[in-house]
Chains A and B, each alone.
Chain A
């Protein structure tokens, strides 16, 4: 079943792919124009994917099962890519540096490629998911995920940059990066944005669970993994604020946090799914 929204998401995938190529080529070719084109493509992808989400939403209403398009694997993947792209564009605009793109947009592209392999039909919601809590829960979680993604991408840049700075080597693709202090700051800044959203995501999830079956916390694998992610970032914040963990160690913690995030988001459903069916 290929409806308009799926075609638009396919186009989005193509745009992310092209933008990724542009951003990476910019690092190697050092032509600002390439990165500028990348930015424009990402903006186009933001518009197309936003329209696609709207179209998908409208299409679900036409089918008589109207619901927000964030309720299965396909939809969550495209929504994740959408959030990452928007968060990225904000960072690029704020920091006036386009080198981040090569480390963040390929993640959005890979997510969209993964979405291509998932079933894309619009299906009605099972009774358990029919709740207004769904909107608050999914949106807060994904803003958090997007922020952690950007943080991890920048953490990789930090590690590359710091290595070069230590060796006092200039030039190379790393030469275009902002100085390591700015990267380190951005790793932290993205996390202090993501952390309250993840917290809100966990709380809205708990509130919803309580309203749906009278238990706000049941140590379900998804819940537990969201707590693990929360704890990793809590450790990051305490290590940084009170023990002065900066730079390399902070960057590694951010990458570890991102790995936990991805496991919480996808791993629990795909790997642990045999043990527990979630949300149905």
Chain B
């Protein structure tokens, strides 16, 4: 557990005392404002509260939709302050900038001091320092200082960490520490956040997001305009060899897939079947399976046989277009069912013969001879349906995305370090006492999880004090 008092002395800058002196120059006052934790907390709260707005007000909808919901004056006001695209509005970006500035200034203000204390730790303790530490213990020994110093040095090395030994004013000081990098955890987290923002800016400036529909068998290198940018011409083209939909037994879509080829200088350089959650990447440009649709009418193939069973050819039918069977009449396909009454794919056709009432009936793909039951001069069979799809691809280039991941990694690692790694310090001072004895003072501190360190501290002391019979234990607590 971290108490406020210790941290305050450790980390909070002099800003609190400076604030009282109003005579400071403006630049200093601005600087003190920018490095204050108060500002940081206010920024966090402001960002949280304003962010709610955009989740309640639907973002980036066409104006007609808003006008249905809001009165004219409300619409105009909200439009004026960019509430319909608030996360990209000038004031929200300003908040983000101020937040980043605050983070950066806090780091600039505090990090050098932390580096200094880490590089030049307090190697000795005096009476004043002892009072600020909650863990202290004193005892006395017979013998001489160098001998005990050596004993404690090796004992501390074994049970904690190798101590630095210094001599001052006739006393010998031992200082050992562990987990000093925990002091940098918060800075790593803050740097991580700034790096994420940098990555986002790189992506916005040097990347693009676009969209392209490619019919089967066609290729494309020209991307549609999106987000206020000009259209984009790729240095290569992408061909959609095939698009298909797989379904679960209940008919729900299971997977959308596109078989894509990358064509560069007239050559296929890469071929991949992409699915949702499995994109294609070429030269830093990512192609995501995003949607699909009908690129044109499907073509149906119907076999024609004479009553004798003799083949009379195959007809290709476009929807609702009549085709003539010479010496018989016309046939047109009007309807398709992927699963007609549990009998599988079926095609509904209309047969019109001169001076006769048109006949409308279903042809089942699985039962090619089912049309014989009409007992007519010609029988029809449903061979296949060739649907003509286009695949809808989301296309994105984001050179900043790896910077974002780097920032995320740093942010998380820093957080774990600052929460779970404790900077533990142990000091031992050996001074000459009365009657030729050695006076020993041990003190410890930890910036996290003190109760655990307390146990460790006393366990270590018990271990390194080899001669318990002669000790004179005092517990100042």
* Contact for A216 among B45, B47, B404, CB less than 8 A: B404
CB closest chain-B residue, reference A211:
B277
C-alpha spacing A62/B52, complex, angstroms: 43
Residues of A within 8 A of B37 (CB): 238, 242-243
C-alpha spacing A126/B45, complex, angstroms: 37
Q: Residue-by-residue, is B32-47 near A (CB-CB < 8 Å gives 1, otherwise 0)?
A: 0000011011001101
Q: In the complex, how many angstroms separate the beta carbon of A233 from the nearest chain B beta carbon?
A: 10
* Contact for A210 among B12, B401, B419, CB less than 8 A: B401
Interface assignment of A93: CB less than 8 Å from any CB of chain B: no
For window 34-82 of chain B, which residues contact chain A by CB distance below 8 Å? Answer: 37-38, 40-41, 44-45, 47-48, 51-52, 54-56, 58-59
* Contact for A214 among B12, B200, B286, CB less than 8 A: B286
Residues of B within 8 A of A241 (CB): 2, 7
Say whether A127 contacts B255, CB under 8 Å. yes
Interface assignment of B205: CB less than 8 Å from any CB of chain A: no
CB closest chain-A residue, reference B287:
A214
For window 1-52 of chain B, which residues contact chain A by CB distance below 8 Å? Answer: 1-5, 7-8, 11-12, 37-38, 40-41, 44-45, 47-48, 51-52
C-alpha spacing A124/B56, complex, angstroms: 31
Given the known interface contacts A214-B398, A239-B41, the answer about A232 and B255 at a Cβ–Cβ threshold of 8 Å is no
Say whether B209 contacts A214, CB under 8 Å. yes
In the complex, which range does the number of interface residues on chain B fall in?
Answer: 35 or more
* Contact for A231 among B47, B59, B416, CB less than 8 A: B47
Given the known interface contacts A127-B255, A207-B405, the answer about A212 and B48 at a Cβ–Cβ threshold of 8 Å is no
For window 228-280 of chain A, which residues contact chain B by CB distance below 8 Å? Answer: 228, 231-232, 234-235, 238-244, 246, 268, 272, 275-276
Interface assignment of B249: CB less than 8 Å from any CB of chain A: yes
Q: In the complex, how many angstroms separate the beta carbon of B308 from the nearest chain A beta carbon?
A: 45
Interface assignment of A131: CB less than 8 Å from any CB of chain B: yes
Say whether A188 contacts B1, CB under 8 Å. yes
For window 49-63 of chain A, which residues contact chain B by CB distance below 8 Å? Answer: none
C-alpha spacing A130/B286, complex, angstroms: 19
Residues of A within 8 A of B200 (CB): 217
Given the known interface contacts A127-B256, A234-B44, A243-B4, the answer about A64 and B55 at a Cβ–Cβ threshold of 8 Å is no
Size of interface on A: residues with Cβ below 8 Å to B? 50
Given the known interface contacts A127-B275, A228-B52, the answer about A213 and B288 at a Cβ–Cβ threshold of 8 Å is yes
Say whether A215 contacts B396, CB under 8 Å. yes
Say whether A238 contacts B40, CB under 8 Å. yes
C-alpha spacing A210/B196, complex, angstroms: 14
* Contact for A126 among B3, B253, B289, B395, CB less than 8 A: B253
Q: Residue-by-residue, is B226-255 near A (CB-CB < 8 Å gives 1, otherwise 0)?
A: 000000000000000000000011101111
Interface assignment of A224: CB less than 8 Å from any CB of chain B: yes
Residues of A within 8 A of B4 (CB): 243-244, 246
Say whether A235 contacts B288, CB under 8 Å. no
* Contact for B59 among A128, A219, A228, CB less than 8 A: A219
C-alpha spacing A275/B203, complex, angstroms: 28
For window 403-453 of chain B, which residues contact chain A by CB distance below 8 Å? Answer: 404-405, 408, 411-412, 415-416, 419-420
CB closest chain-B residue, reference A217:
B200
Say whether B51 contacts A227, CB under 8 Å. yes
User: Which 4 A-B residue pairings sit nearest by Cβ, starting from the closest?
Assistant: A244-B4, A214-B396, A127-B276, A231-B48
- A residues sitting closer than 8 Å to B (CB atoms) are 64-65, 123-124, 126-128, 130-131, 133, 185, 188, 192, 195-196, 199-200, 203, 206-207, 210-217, 219, 221, 224-225, 227-228, 231-232, 234-235, 238-244, 246, 268, 272, 275-276
Sample of 12 further A-B pairs with CB below 8 A, known A124-B250, A212-B276: A127-B256, A192-B419, A200-B412, A206-B408, A210-B401, A211-B277, A212-B288, A214-B395, A231-B47, A235-B44, A240-B2, A275-B58
- B residues sitting closer than 8 Å to A (CB atoms) are 1-5, 7-8, 11-12, 37-38, 40-41, 44-45, 47-48, 51-52, 54-56, 58-59, 87, 200, 209, 248-250, 252-256, 275-277, 279, 286, 288-290, 394-396, 398, 401, 404-405, 408, 411-412, 415-416, 419-420
